[in-house]
Structure 1
Amino acid sequence: MSREELAALPTTTTIETAARALGLGRTRAYQLARENRFPCKVIRIGTTYRVITADLQRTLATDSKTCI
């Protein structure tokens, strides 16, 4: 996912979009969310999982600093 795509996301996004940005598969993302181990803030609304975009961006920024 490009920086432009990430910047254009709404306040919350789907777990599938967040997983794609983090390089995770869909199944693994849902597994981590169910186990409260997803790398950023997840909100569960009924059977739907939403990810806070600002937290996703912080997580990605931290990861990129670590890799440099």
Structure 2
Amino acid sequence: MQPLTLDDIRQLPAVVDLMTAARAFGLGRTLAYELARRGDFPCPVHRIGRLYRVHTSDLLQALDTTR
């Protein structure tokens, strides 16, 4: 699966699931969930029940400093 570009990310809704955020960083499913559980994901992750969600603005901010 191809990582998302900054242009792709700018077109996303305000909140995305963990796998969409993981694609932006080029991370696989297992590593993404492991990092989220440990609190080590590259940007803030919000847990809502069993779901992990990421604000697109947080994702863009984290990527702007890494790219």
Query: Is TM-score (shorter-chain normalized) higher than 0.5?
Result: yes
> What SS does structure 2 have at the residue aligned with 1:31?
helix
Q: Which amino acid aligns with 1:32?
A: L
In structure 1, list runs of 5 or more residues that go unmatched. Answer: none
Max radius of gyration: which structure?
1
Q: 1:63 aligns with which of 48, 61, 66?
A: 66
In structure 2, list runs of 5 or more residues that go unmatched. Answer: none
Measured on the aligned residues, the alpha-carbon RMSD in Å equals 0.8
Distance 2:35 2:5 in 1: 23
TM (norm. structure 2) is 0.89
2:18 is matched with 15
Determine whether 1:5 maps to 2:8. yes
Q: 1:37 aligns with which of 29, 37, 40?
A: 40
Tell me how far 1:39 sits from its aligned partner. Answer: 0.8
Identity of aligned residues (%): 50
Distance 1:42 1:3 in 2: 19
| Paired positions, count | 64
TM (norm. structure 1) is 0.88
Tell me how far 1:2 sits from its aligned partner. Answer: 2.4
Q: Where has structure 1 moved over 6 Å in runs of 4 or more?
A: none
1:54 is matched with 57
